[in-house]
Each structure stands twice: as structure tokens, then as C-alpha cells.
Amino acid sequence: MSMVLPRAGLGGMVRSEWTKLRTVRSTVWSLVAMAAISLGLMSVIAWSVMRQWDTADPGTQEILRQYPLELVIARPVYISQLVIAVLGVLVISAEYTTGMIRSTLQSQPRRLTVLAAKVGVFTALMLVVGELLAFAAFFLGQAILSPHVELSLDGPGILRSVIGAGLFMAVLGLFSLAVGAIIRYTAGAITAVLGLILIVSNLTSLLPGSWGAHVNAWMPTNAGQLIFQPTVDPGALLTPWQGLAVFGGWTVLLLGVAAYLFKHRDA
């Protein structure tokens, strides 16, 4: 009597992808380094500012009182996003580089199931890590700045900014994973994502006229970064939640392209 083996499903792929992700040393050490550098650098800068508070000019003091999250949240996110972008690409491009993708697809021929498992596992990881990092940065910064700067989650837009920082990092991870799935080559995909974050998004601010302002506002990371800004310019084209929605829309679009190519291209 022949035995019918159960068909491999999404649950098994999720467990497999989680095992891959957590057992790769580069993932663990990258996340540890990201947290240590971003939180450590923020703490050193904040501590230095507090040490020199009495000799600082009034303008600098007032800026820090009005915009403490620029130091406490924004700077850790700006550092962390570089690591997250690289990790997002590596989640899938590393398998193409090593050829492991062929083994993965032999064990699970349903390609969209494989991609869905990668997306689900990495999203969950980045969401947890992002929120932990955001709240750790807030409470650490709050403790360091407390002698001269009042900072509370009850302040206008503060809680939304802290939660939004974690959401931004999770969406960025997905965005980078999608680019990695489309390009497949690690160096090219990392260059594309970092080039967009560090160069293209900033250069669009130089475009003239209202159309240039719209292009700049709707760039993926420019829009997404509004979610961790406690206050937005009254003339801004997007609200914080609209900005996150725009970033999410770009990510969904790229994931759709990635799913189509992942299903139809050779491994």
C-alpha cells in the first residue's frame, strides 16, 4: 500500500524560512550591530548635548526643546534603515547567489507560497525589531534629556511617531525584499535601494515647480518618513498616515512585480 504524503503548505514554508533567517549569523549580528550603533550614537550625542547645555546658545536649546524626536527617533531610524535595506535584499538574493533557491523550489514547487513565506517571516521580524528599537530609543533618549528637555508619550504626535518608526522600518524591509526579488543580484539590488534612499529621494527636492514638489513628496521613503515626524509642515502634500500609505502602495506594487517574475523566471 502506497503512502500519500501530505502536500507541503505555507505553514511548513514559514517554519523553514524562520529557521533560515534566525540561523544565519549575518542576520543576528546585523540586527545587534544596528541596535548598538543607532542607540549608542544617539545616546552619545544626547549625553554630550546635556553636558554642554549651560554653554549652548539659546537657539540650539530651543530647537531641541521643540524637536527632541529629531535626535531621539529620527537619527536612529536613519542609521537603521541602511541595515534593514541590506537585510531585506539578502533575504532572497543570497539564495540566488548560493544557488540554494533551486533546492528551496524543489522542496516546494509552488513559488508564490515560497515568496509569501519569506515576506511573512521577514515582515514579522522587522515589525518586532522595529518597534522594540523605536521604543528603546524613545525611553533611552527621554532618560538622557530629562534634566532639560521634557519628552513624554502624551505629547502631540509623539506616540504616533514612535509606533510609526517601527512601521516604517517594517515597510522598508519589505520594499527592499521586493527589490531583491526583482533584481536577484545582491550588489545590484543593494545599490538600487540605497541609491534610492540616499541619493534619488534627496535629488528630487531640486525639481522645479509644483510637479517637482509632488514627485518629491510621493517618493517612497520621503513619503514613508512622515510617519515618524511628530509635526508636519502645514503646506505638506501628505499627512503622516497618507505618507505611510504611499510607501506601502509602492511596496505592494513592487511585491506584485516580484511575485510575477518569481513565478515565471528560471531559478
pLDDT one-digit tens code per residue, 27-47: 888 899 899 999 999 999 889
User: What is the band of 216 on the pLDDT scale with cuts at 50, 70, 90?
Assistant: very high
User: Per-residue pLDDT for 94 more than 60?
Assistant: yes
Q: Where are the domains of the chain?
A: 10-264
How many residues comprise the chain? 267
Q: What is the pTM of this model?
A: 0.91
Give the C-alpha separation, 72 to 140, whole Å.
8
Mean of per-residue pLDDT scores for the chain? 88
Residue 109 pLDDT greater than 90, yes or no: no
| Residue 161, all three cell numbers | 511617531
Mean pLDDT of 124-148: 93
CA distance 212 to 218: 10
Contact 69, 46 (CB under 8 A): no
- H helices of the chain, in order, are 10-23, 25-51, 58-66, 68-69, 75-98, 100-107, 111-145, 158-183, 186-195, 201-203, 209-218, 220-224, 240-264
Average of per-residue pLDDT across 142-170: 91
Average pLDDT over residues 73-78: 92
For 48-68, the pLDDT digits (tens) are 888 888 887 888 788 888 888
- The pLDDT score that the predictor gives to residue 226 is 94
Which one of 50-54, 84-88, 205-209 scores highest in mean pLDDT? Answer: 84-88
Q: How confident is the model at residue 267 (pLDDT cuts 50, 70, 90)?
A: low
> Dihedrals φ, ψ of 151, to 5°?
-140, 120
**Confidence grade of residue 4 (pLDDT, cut at 50, 70, 90):** very low
> Which cell numbers hold the place of 217?
513628496
Query: Is 5's pLDDT higher than 50?
Result: no
